[in-house]
Chains A and B, each alone.
Chain A
Amino acid sequence: MGALEGLALGLLLWRVQLQMFLNQTIRSRQAGRIAGTIAGAAVILIAWSWEAFITWLGVLASHRVVLRIDPVQVLSLAFLAYTGVLVFSSLLFSLNALLLNPDLDVLLAAPRSVESVLASRMVVQVLRLSLLSLLFTAPALVVLAIANHNPLIPFAFAALYVLYPVFVVVIISLVSLLLIRVIPVGRGREVLTLFGIALGIGINLANFLLNPAFRDSGFARRPGLTPPLPDIPAASASWLPSGWAGRSAAAVLRGDLVTAGQWMLLLLAVSAAIFTAGSVLNGRLYMAGWIQAVRPRRRHATPRVRRLGGALPLLSPVLAAIVIKDWRMRTRDLAQLVRFIMPVVFLFVIFGLRFPRLLSAVHSLGDGPPAAMIGLIPAWILLFSLSISLGLSAVSLEGKSIWVYAASPNSTLRLLQAKCWSTALPTAFVVALAALVAEILIQPGWLWAVAAVVLAIAEAAAVTTVMVGIGAVFARFDWTDARRMMHPVGIFVGMGLFSVVSGASALLLVISIALAAVTRFPLYTTWLAAMTISVGGAIAVAALSILFGNQRLRGLEVG
């Protein structure tokens, strides 16, 4: 009863979400929103066209080459891998939907059973996940339908997308309600973020250590040898939902609709049973007061951090206050801290594990600017990641608390100045450290190495400033979820400008080497001149972006 009522309520909530989406996009009268919708639609269209093209190439290739791959195994593996995505997104969703979202009180106050309210949340999550799956795979499915002369393929997959996530969503909802017995609700998101990082690093490490493709010595392809594929034989087991979905999908693709229907029916029956049982259990757990099980812990500022006291050498008290406040906010909020630490950790995983092979390749270049500049690549990747994540979010970090600064007797330019310091200091420090370590290991000659590290620091400061300015132009102050701090257009512009700065620097390096060879000028002179121009250009762009950012902030009204 609760499950059926939940289904109806879920569809009602889904309709409301759809209405809100339409109001914000198609029905919006704001020029910016309309432009955003058109741009978003264009991006989706391009991605769809590309996906359709690639699938079409795959279909053509499959007619020429006979691959000894079992479609059931491959599709079951795909569904098993998809389960991982479902688990993580459901964990985040469950915490929000079942415990944190403010509309929960409104729903619970309505004359609906608790079971149906919680079940409705699961329905919304299942619909959302299936729609996303369809969004990502629709072009490939349409191409396969045309190639196989089977128009039912997209519909059959759509049905699988609706049925398959049910058991994951139900189990994760139950687990979330049980987990908060141990983790306070307010910290749930942080714990999940930590879990996500550990999972990400674990998967990368396991992939590197276990995946045969990475254990292959050298990148050369050996003719006649099938590239090794990672495999989990249990994925297609007939007792696992991934096996049922895989069998059903494979049967649809080969046109065997009876077999496809049988496996789909099994999935439907099990999903319905799990959903019904899960709705009842969820309701019971909720009613039993499990959410009040953990008292919120009082969190203090540690004495070590308290000693910061608000002073930084060379900075005025206002600038220092903002820099220290931002540092505290970034380091105390796990979601913010991850933005800072994640790139460093992944760089270590990506470069650190492959470093010996890369190092020997760079050593073969000998002394000089090419080796010194190649040594800057890890630092450059870090700069890209940190400047985007910290710089673009620097002004938005204030969020709804922007009134505190806006009501104070300080100019917007001073705020931007402080934000530049608060992002450039950590970024330049990490970038310099990465550059220094790489140059010490590469040893391109001390003069080149020192110049390269100085260049890295100067570019880091300039590029971060560029990002702070862009972040100010596209600042968002109404976010409640840290993931929404950055405006998509801001990210796009920031990445574009970073590419321009990187491209110009690389071009100038090549020109300086060519110029030295042609004019017989000392290479160091031409290289230094080229890098000075590169940094000068970046500073000019930074000044412009701060100018635009300041204009935006000057016009800001805290309504």
Chain B
Amino acid sequence: MGRLGTVLSTRLLTKRYGSLTAVEDLDLEVGAGELFGFLGPNGAGKTTTIKMLVGLLRPTSGNARVAGIDIADEPEKAKALIGYVPDAATLYDKLSAREFLEFSGDLYHVERRLRDRRIAALLKLFDLQERGDDFLSGYSRGMRQKVSLAAALLHDPQVLFLDEPTVGLDPQSARQMKDILQDFCREGKTVFFSTHILEIAERMCTRLAIINHGRLVAMGSLQELRHMVGQDGQSLEQIFLDLTGTREDDVSAVLRGLES
């Protein structure tokens, strides 16, 4: 738990689509200043959970609170404290990065002079100064991801939600993003991100949660997760595979079956 108390919590958070349960009875607690990794196989419910936490999806039951504010009851108040970077950010193609950031700043009620100052700083931080006036239609996936992160940081949020933030980034940009997120947390703010890249999660996260088939299977620091599976010194990858039931010998058997 973070040193400054709980900033994000969910209680029995559930999302159902007809007969399909995407997320079931999810209880999470994330503290201020934490870099929290949210892991799970494809289709485990990571994106659905994040979308519920940022108010894009309405939970079927249960609740989620950001800084004590229920996102379903007071969405506008809660959203003002949140920054969100989706996995594949669809941006307005016919706007330039600068114009998109200006638009985002106004949406989040950032005072105009402060907004312009922050935009200049963020464009510099993400090495986008030279392309800042180009239309977003000409941006690569990685550059869009950077613009999206810049927009999420613009209003100085308390909690940053990122869905697969390193997908599409080159190694330099991925490193830059890690540094930015760690700096962000050092200021006592919280990062909640989902990823498939377990090495990143292992190196960066203060605490982790693993979700499978919509249910939370483990939560804690890496050390706590090792204790949970009963094998100290194991890599996060091995812990993840153990907890989500994906075994290497199963995979080999299937591959051998394909060969025959």
Residue numbers of A with Cβ under 8 A of B are 186, 296, 298-301, 306, 309-311, 317-318, 320-322, 324-325, 328-329, 332-333, 399-401, 403-411, 557-559
Check: B186 CB closer than 8 A to any chain A CB. no
Q: 19 more A-B contacts (CB under 8 A) besides A301-B135, A310-B112? A: A299-B134, A300-B134, A301-B95, A306-B96, A306-B98, A309-B102, A311-B112, A317-B106, A321-B103, A325-B95, A328-B94, A404-B92, A409-B75, A409-B108, A410-B107, A411-B76, A558-B56, A558-B57, A559-B51
Q: Chain B residues near A407: list those with CB within 8 A.
A: 54-56, 79, 82, 84
A201 to chain B, nearest CB (A): 25
Chain B contacts of A406 at CB under 8 A? 55-56
Evaluate contact between B90 and A403: CB separation under 8 angstroms: yes
- Closest 6 A-B residue pairs measured CB to CB? A321-B106, A400-B90, A409-B80, A409-B79, A408-B107, A332-B94
When chains A and B are docked, how far (Å) is the Cα of A401 from the Cα of B106?
16
27 A-B Cβ contacts within 8 A? A300-B96, A300-B134, A301-B98, A310-B103, A310-B112, A317-B106, A321-B107, A325-B92, A329-B92, A332-B94, A332-B135, A399-B90, A403-B56, A404-B151, A406-B55, A406-B56, A407-B56, A408-B79, A408-B104, A408-B107, A408-B108, A409-B76, A409-B79, A409-B80, A410-B107, A557-B56, A559-B48
Asked if B86 lies at the interface with its beta carbon under 8 angstroms from chain A, I say yes
Interface size on B, residues (CB 8 A): 40
The answer to whether B51 and A558 touch across the interface, beta carbons within 8 angstroms, is yes
A532 to B76, CA, bound (A): 38
Contact A301 B138 (CB under 8 A): no
**Do A410 and B76 touch across chains, with their CB atoms under 8 A apart?**
yes
Which residues of chain A are within 8 angstroms of B55 by Cβ–Cβ distance? Answer: 406-407
Task: Tell me if B90 and A318 are in contact (CB < 8 A).
Answer: no
Given contacts A299-B135, A299-B138, A306-B99, contact A557 B57 (CB under 8 A): yes
Picked from B54, B56, B57, B96, the residue with its CB within 8 Å of the CB of A301 is B96
Give the interface centre of A301, A399, A408 by most chain B CB atoms within 10 Å.
Answer: A408
- Tell me if A296 and B138 are in contact (CB < 8 A): yes
In the complex, A32 Cα to B78 Cα: how many Å?
A: 34
Taking CB atoms, residues of chain A closer than 8 Å to B133 are: 300-301, 306
- CB neighbours (8 Å) of B196 from chain A are none
Q: Does B106 lie within 8 Å of A310, measured CB to CB?
A: yes
A298 to B131, CA, bound (A): 9
Chain B residues within an 8 Å CB radius of A317? 106, 109, 112
**Residues on the A chain within 8 Å of B77, using CB:** 409
- Across the interface, name the chain B residue whose C-beta is closest to A186: B137
Q: Is the CB of A401 within 8 A of B91?
A: yes
**CB < 8 Å neighbour of B109 from A310, A318, A399:** A318
Q: Is B58 among interface residues, defined by CB-CB distance under 8 A?
A: yes
Residues of B within 8 A of A328 (CB): 94-95, 99
Q: How far is the CA of A260 from the CA of B15 in the complex (A)?
A: 64
Q: How far is the CB of A417 from chain B (nearest CB, A)?
A: 14
CB B117 to nearest CB in A, in angstroms, measures 14
CB distance from A301 to the nearest CB of B (A): 4
Q: In the complex the two chains form, what is the Cα distance from A333 to B102 in whole Å?
A: 20
Q: Mark B183-214, 1 if CB is under 8 A from A, else 0.
A: 00000000000000000000000000000000
Alpha-carbon distance A296/B99, docked complex (angstroms): 21
The CA-CA distance from A440 to B79 in the complex, in Å, is 52
* C-alpha spacing A310/B112, complex, angstroms: 9
Alpha-carbon gap, A324 to B57, bound state (A): 28
Q: Which residues of A contact B134 (CB under 8 A)?
A: 298-300
Q: Which residue of B lies closest to A320 (CB)?
A: B106
A388 to B55, CA, bound (A): 31
Closest residue of chain A to B104, judged by CB?
A404
Chain B residues with CB under 8 A of A400: 90
A409 to B103, CA, bound (A): 13
Task: Assess A310 versus B102: contact at CB under 8 Å? Given A301-B96, A318-B109, A559-B51.
Answer: yes
A140 to B90, CA, bound (A): 47
Instruction: List chain A residues, Cβ under 8 A from B131.
Output: 298
Report the Cα distance A328→B134, complex, angstroms.
14
| Closest CB in chain B relative to A137 CB, distance in Å | 40
For A324, list chain B residues within 8 Å (CB): 103
Mask for B103-129, Cβ within 8 A of A = 1, else 0?
Answer: 111111100100000000000000000
Q: How far is the CA of A410 from the CA of B77 in the complex (A)?
A: 9
- Interface residue from B51, B58, B107 paired with A404 (Cβ < 8 Å): B107
A559–B57 touching, CB < 8 Å: yes
Minimum Cβ distance to chain A for residue B9 (Å)? 20
Q: Are B94 and A333 in contact (CB under 8 A)?
A: yes
A409 to B109, CA, bound (A): 9
- From A300, A404, A411, B91 is in contact (CB under 8 Å) with A404
A298 touches B102 (CB 8 A): no
Closest A residue, CB atoms, query B82: A407
Contact yes or no, A318 B106, CB < 8 A: yes
Residues B107 and A405 in contact, CB atoms below 8 Å apart: yes
Q: Please name all residues of chain A whose beta carbon is closer than 8 Å to the beta carbon of B56 when the two chains form the complex.
A: 403, 406-407, 557-559
Interface residues in B59-87 by Cβ distance below 8 A to A read 75-80, 82, 84, 86
Please report the C-alpha to C-alpha distance between residue A329 and residue B96 in the assembled complex, in whole angstroms. 11
> Is A299 a contact partner of B137 (Cβ separation < 8 A)?
yes
* Complex alpha-carbon distance, A306 and B119, angstroms: 14
Find out whether the CB atom of A401 lies under 8 angstroms from the CB atom of B80. no
- Residues of chain A within 8 A (CB-CB) of B51 are 558-559
A302–B95 CA distance with the chains assembled, in angstroms: 11
Whole-angstrom CA separation of A310 from B100 in the bound complex: 11
A401 touches B90 (CB 8 A): yes
Closest beta carbon of chain B to A99's beta carbon, Å: 16
Question: Could you say which residues of chain A place their CB within 8 Å of the CB of B76?
Answer: 409-411
B residues less than 8 Å from A296 (CB atoms): 138
Is the pair B99, A301 in contact by a Cβ cutoff of 8 Å?
A: yes
Q: Contact: B98 with A325, CB < 8 Å?
A: no
Complex: A406 Cα to B104 Cα, angstroms: 12
> Nearest residue in A to B57 (C-beta to C-beta)?
A557
Q: A310 to B104, alpha carbons, bound, how many Å?
A: 11
Distance of A37 from chain B, by nearest CB (Å): 21
Q: Give Cα A35 to B151, complex, Å.
A: 41
